Amino acid sequence: MLDREYDNQVCSIARSLEVVGERWSLLIIRNVGLGMNRFEPLRENLGITRSVLTTRLGTLIEYGILEKRQYSEKPPRFEYHLTAKGRDLSPVLLQLMWWGDEYYPEPGGPPTIAVHRTCGGDLDHHMVCRKCGESVEPDRVYMKPGPGRNKQDLPKIPA
């Protein structure tokens, strides 16, 4: 990057990390983005304590990254969904994903691939679609399982 002088903590990265830098936050955001919207599945998948999940969901809601929706009245049950602000974190998650794939690859290939929603091509690490060449905006991306994914879980994605 640079090899020059440097100054103060007026830093956008530090501000971002205050919001999403806590343990579990980015993984929660990722899972919610993939459609895992309820408490118990999140808890089980992440292997996280209920209390920690409760507080993380709470702070992410405070920050406007998630919103809580009630989907059942009689037993009060809730779902968590990404806001636009939360969805805009997908480039961060994608870059983390690509870095991980580069330096800690799964033997069988990447477990997850980013796909351009409108044309179905997959993305390179500049978020340019390899098929149509378009520079893809965060909300036009979805994820699909790649070759490194576990055995029998191949949820067919409606292309």
Cα–Cα distance list, 77 to 47, 85, 108 (Å):
21, 24, 38
Half-sphere exposure of residue 69, counting CA atoms within 13 Å on the CB side? 10
Residues 6+ apart with CB under 8 A from 28: 42, 46, 53, 56, 57, 60, 66
The option from DNA, a copy of itself, none interacting with 119 (CB < 5 to 8 A, set by class) reads: none
The option from DNA, a copy of itself, none interacting with 157 (CB < 5 to 8 A, set by class) reads: a copy of itself
Decide if residue 40 touches DNA (CB under 7 A). Answer: yes
Decide if residue 66 touches a copy of itself (CB under 8 A). Answer: no
- Could you tell me where the beta strands, DSSP code E, fall in the chain? 66-72, 77-82, 112-116, 141-145
Closest to a copy of itself by CB, 4 vs 74, is 4
The least CB distance from residue 136 to DNA, in Å, is 32
Q: What's the CA gap between 60 and 52, in Å, rounded?
A: 12
Decide if residue 63 touches DNA (CB under 7 A). Answer: no
Contacts (CB under 8 A) with a copy of itself, residues 69-88: 82, 85, 87-88
34 within 8 A of 112, measured Cβ to Cβ: no
Decide if residue 141 touches a copy of itself (CB under 8 A). Answer: yes
> Of 75, 76, 155, 159, which lies in the binding site for a copy of itself, with binding defined by CB under 8 A?
155
Strand partners, 123: 129
Q: Please count the residues of this chain forming the interface with a copy of itself, following the rule CB under 8 A.
A: 71
Decide if residue 69 touches DNA (CB under 7 A). Answer: no
Decide if residue 47 touches DNA (CB under 7 A). Answer: yes
Residues that bind DNA (CB under 7 A): 22-24, 38-41, 47-52, 54-55, 57, 74-79
